[in-house]
Structure 1
Amino acid sequence: MSALPTDPVLTCDGADLRDLAPRAERTLLIACGALAREVLALKRINGWDHLDLICLPAILHNTPDRITDAVRAKVAEHRATYPRIFVLYADCGTGGLLEVACREMGVTMLSGPHCYAFFDGVAEFEARGEVTSFYLTDFLARQFDAFVWQPLGLDRHPDLREMYFSNYETLVFLAQTEDPGLTEKARDCAARLGLSFERRFTGYGDLARELTEEATR
């Protein structure tokens, strides 16, 4: 067993990573903070102890033009100690810039336009063509006020709701877990936005498939 590193990487929950194998045998996952709970659950369920996880702030999704530079910096920080790095972002509003950056850096990333698509299944999501749907994941249902309501100013100017959401008809809750309390939170979000409500259980979708492929390489 290798000695503990002197510069331990922090996991998304703030714990120090303690190598169970030399880093030459490990993969670093650089994830959006909005995926932390799901990725940690998949690591635990599958015993993927050789995958190390660090997260960038989930709030970057409100400024997607900053995501690519943040990922570049994190890859540069850790590429000398990890032979493989997997970026757990889809395009996420970067307009293709993140894909270009990952290709230039020689690292892989998730497929699809955003987390709604890969949780739902990218092919299925694109086939649905739900242009009048507004989506929540488990994370966004929990953090609706911090990531939607307040950033859009709806806590201060509720009259803006019509301007932002007049073209939407349905709030679709893409549920990763069976959590009745969270479903009620999502239903309340739909009511606050004046939208009809649909719950669709997705589990971990393509995130689980792509992580499985990476973990078993």
Structure 2
Amino acid sequence: MRRQSLLLFMIALLVVIVRPCQDVVAELPRGVKAVWDVEKAYRESTATRERICINGLWRWQPADEDTNTVPADRWGYFKVPGSWPGTTDYMQKDCQTIHAHPSWKNKSLRSITAAWYQRHITVPDEWVGRRVTISAEYLNSYATVYVDGRNIGDIVFPDGKLDITAACRPGATHVLSMFVVAMPLKGVMLSYNDTNAARQVKGSVARRGLCGDVYLVGTPMGARIADVKVDTSVRK
């Protein structure tokens, strides 16, 4: 009797341990894989710098705008680059597949204004002594970047780079997370699309999320020129 009770207890304990693990990430369909191996990624190199494309399937989930803690579970998958699903009109149509987690698969994504992204990145061994940055080419509209759960900084529309050198190590694999918020230029706007008089409508973002390529970039340390601005004159 004691042996049977012990066996039942161990089975119950195993269910408690395994079940949450199954809820961490949604299961991808047969034949679909999230490939995060940087050795298989597209690269561009020059004599002084290199960048590695980290596009592809990322972990993804809708979020509340007031969160600042990287989620531990409820991850689905969504492709980078790609605008968030749910917006379809005469100018654009959903074309990306979202692999939803069961906990939010029935949630309407048309009106969400924030989402989490996550994937693993491995910094190449040969980048010892180099500056390591994350580059996002078309961001709509604002992203807070985390490495291994640590808040590193922000990237804002339309694109930008963020130095993550202090948070990563050449040869090591890290967890890159990004909290992306779609922020309209104005909260309230005037619309003339269906009347002869202006009416107030809530501001929105047509293409939300990481809509352009994302790169892991290695460059030399030391002084560099950045944020160059050219002011032209038409007087002469």
TM-score computed with the length of structure 1 as normaliser? 0.24
Which has more helix, going by share of residues?
Answer: 1
Larger Rg: 2
TM-score computed with the length of structure 2 as normaliser? 0.23
Which has more strand, going by share of residues?
Answer: 2
